[in-house]
Amino acid sequence: MAINSEVLVIGGGLAGLTSALKAAREGADVRLVSYKQSSLRHASGLVDLLGYTPDGEGPITDPYAAMGDLPEEHPYRRVGVETVRESMSLFDEVTDYRGDHTDTNALVPTHGGTVKPTARYPTGAAAGLASDDRDVLLVGLESLVDFDAPHAAAHLEAAGVPFDVRGETIRFPGDLQADAKITRYAKLLDTNGDVAVRGRKKGARDALAERVNTVRDTEERIGFPAILGDAHTDAVRAALEEKIGADVFEVPMGPPSLPGLRLEDALFEALDEAGASFETGNPVVDFDADGERIETVYIEKNGAKIPNSADQYVLATGGLVGKGIESDRESVTEPVFDCHIEHGEDRYEWFDGDAFGDHPFASFGVETDETLRPLTADSAVQFENLRAAGSVLGGYDFAAEKSGSGVSIATGYVAGENAAAEAR
């Protein structure tokens, strides 16, 4: 016996979540199993489709228009531009993200003071867009050294943004420890918890707004690092807006990322609503196959092997960061099903001598047919009932192209759709 479902998705990142969601919405009985928390916790929470060409040209204005020029083995070419659009509509439906009103990339200021082309951004970042010409005040916090507001402001100014921008650093009320966790700020703001200001207790939201008001000039938009609440982020922003009398936005931060966490929560919630099952915390380590078909996979829990069976499987275990692809000095491998990964014999061919050069390792990954079934070294379908999605796929370099989330969503969508169709 085993724990059964029609479609079993392995991996709980953006790709796995999208594919489970799509398959569940198509009516399949879906189960998602994932080991660790996904790379969403490290990512900015911005959803990029295509910001630059593989050769580094850009920023690209219309990512859909540019997809046709991508190399043939690129996952976007595999699934087709129309499907990318469809997958993005599914994403829009289940999240509270903006950017769906236009095909063109939005320009979002980042914590380093650069402007990043992205397809979708959280509502909380909306008031900060670089295409808006209202003046901006960036507010940094003394204890949060990752975001140096004056520095970021200077960078933005130098990048030629069409507005005046100024940075101020303040103390978070209550004088938290220098190494306070971002979740500590978020929780205080979420609950409007008491902080001590000159010996008197005050709600954190009120106290923060008061501090900002002492440094604010006439700016109509105020940008904070992305710590404005976790469970009640809209309420936190609304309260600050009211008390400051200006629009408030979050600047996406480096890891660990609250916007990434919130996105993960929203997707799991959608998955729950769609009726899918999921389990996180333990890895898939082994499988049984009968010739061309995978029959059972095994989740390991401290030595116990828990069998999970399904009709169709989706591999969405991530790339080198998610541990869906492993490499050592000799070879590059996909550890769950040992899917074939094309790579040069000599590991010195894996990267370029120039640190910013064109590194083959960046696009290492599984190759597939049009329905996303992994292919063996001689281009045969490896297993009839296995599909791959997200950064476990080869043929693209998400870091260079700024296409990570888009590829995960689009290929997850296709893998989920095909798996559900086969399972029915």
Partner 1 sequence: MSDAQSPTEFDPVEPNTGEDFEPVDVFPDSNDFDLRPGADSCFKCSVCDTNCPVAEVDDEFPGPKFQGPEQWRLKQTDDDYEIDDSVMSCSNCMRCDNACPSGVPLSQMHNTARGEYVSEQMDKFSIEYVRNRILANYRTSAAIASKVPKLANWGMNFGPARWLMEKTLGVTKEREFPEFAEETFREWWAARGGADASRRNAQQRREELGLDRDADKKVAYFHGCYSNYNSPNVGQAMVRVFEHYGYEVVAPEQKCSGTPMFANGMLDDARRHAEVNVSSMSDLVEQGYDAIASCTSCSMALRQEYPELFDIDGIDKVAENTFESLEYLRIHEDIKEDIQETDVSGELAEEFAYHAPCHARNQGLDRQSVELFRDLDGAGIEDVGESCSGISGTYGWKEEKYEKSMEIGEEMFEHMEHAEGEVGMTECPTCASQMEHGTGYEVRHPLELLEAALVE
Ligand X SMILES: Cc1cc2nc3c(=O)[nH]c(=O)nc-3n(C[C@H](O)[C@H](O)[C@H](O)COP(=O)(O)OP(=O)(O)OC[C@H]3O[C@@H](n4cnc5c(N)ncnc54)[C@H](O)[C@@H]3O)c2cc1C
Residues that bind partner 1 (CB under 8 A): 1-4, 33, 36-37, 39, 41-42, 174, 176-177, 179-184, 186-187, 191, 193, 231, 255-256, 258, 261, 265, 272, 277-282, 299, 301-304, 306-307, 321-323
To partner 1, the closest distance from the beta carbon of 200 in angstroms equals: 18
Which residue from 2, 42, 169, 202 is in contact with ligand X, where contact means CB under 6 A? 42
Report if residue 359 touches ligand X, rule: CB under 6 A: no
Distance CA 81, CA 59 (A): 19
Under the binding rule (CB under 6 A), the answer on residue 362 touching ligand X is no
Question: Quick check: 189 binds ligand X (CB under 6 A)?
Answer: no
Which does residue 304 bind out of partner 1, ligand X, none, counting CB within 5 to 8 angstroms by kind?
partner 1
Q: Considering the rule CB under 6 A, would residue 70 count as an interface residue with ligand X?
A: no
Residue among 301, 189, 204 at smallest CA distance from 250: 189
**Nearest approach, Cβ of 215 to ligand X (angstroms)?**
29
- 314: helix, strand or coil: strand
Examine residue 397 and tell whether it contacts ligand X (CB under 6 A). no
Among 6, 7, 9, 13, interactor with ligand X by CB under 6 A: 13
| DSSP category for residue 39 | G
Residue type at 185?
Answer: Y
Nearer residue to ligand X within complex by CB, 114 or 169: 114
Contacts of 60 (CB under 8 A, 6+ apart): 50, 51, 52, 53, 66, 105, 117
**38 is a contact residue toward ligand X (CB under 6 A):** yes
Q: Is there binding between residue 283 and ligand X (CB under 6 A)?
A: yes
Asked if 322 interacts with ligand X (CB under 6 A), we say yes
**Nearest in space to 88 (alpha carbons), one of 67, 74, 58:** 67
For the CB of residue 269, give the shortest distance to partner 1 in the complex, in Å.
10
Instruction: Answer whether 225's CB lies under 8 Å from 253's CB.
Output: yes
Whole-number Å distance between alpha carbons of 6 and 266: 24
Q: Is 250 in the site for ligand X (CB under 6 A)?
A: no
139 binds ligand X (CB under 6 A): no
What whole-number distance in Å separates Cα of residue 140 and Cα of residue 127? 17
169 binds, among partner 1, ligand X, none (CB under 5 to 8 A by kind): none
Contacts of 198 (CB under 8 A, 6+ apart): none
Contact between 108 and 118 under an 8 Å Cβ cutoff? The reply is: yes
Residue 191: contacted member of partner 1, ligand X, none (CB under 5 to 8 Å, by partner type): partner 1
State the Cα–Cα distance between residues 382 and 21, nearest whole angstrom.
25
Task: Find the binder of ligand X among 105, 233, 391, 418 (CB under 6 A).
Answer: 391
Tell whether residue 140 is a contact of ligand X (CB under 6 A): no
List C-alpha distances in Å: 168 to 80, 211, 281, 287, 353: 46, 11, 41, 55, 41
Q: Under the criterion CB under 6 A, does residue 16 sit at the interface with ligand X?
A: yes
Binding flag, residue 35, ligand X (CB under 6 A): yes
318 lines the binding site for ligand X (CB under 6 A): yes
| Residue 374 binds ligand X (CB under 6 A) | no
Least distance to ligand X, CB of residue 322, Å: 2
CB contact at 8 A, 146 and 174: no
* Among residues 11, 63, 167, 229, the one that binds ligand X under rule CB under 6 A: 11
> Which option in partner 1, ligand X, none does residue 13 bind, with CB closer than 5 to 8 A by kind?
ligand X
Give the nearer residue to partner 1 in terms of CB position, either 11 or 167: 11
> Residue 199 — left, alpha, or beta (φ > 0 → left; ψ -120 to 50 → alpha)?
left
In this structure, are residues 395 and 367 in contact, taking their beta carbons and an 8 Å threshold? Answer: yes
**Angstrom distances, CA of residue 315 to CA of 135, 263, 291, 297, 412:** 46, 21, 18, 11, 9
What does the radius of gyration of the chain's CA atoms come to, in whole angstroms? 23
Question: Which one of partner 1, ligand X, none interacts with residue 16, CB within 5 to 8 A by kind?
Answer: ligand X
Q: Select from 10, 94, 208, 310 the one that contacts ligand X (CB under 6 A).
A: 10
4, 309 contact by CB (below 8 A): yes
Q: Tokens standing for 9?
A: 């998705």
Q: Which residues bind ligand X (CB under 6 A)?
A: 10-16, 33-36, 38-40, 42-44, 46-48, 255, 283-284, 316-318, 321-324, 336, 390-391, 398, 404-405, 408
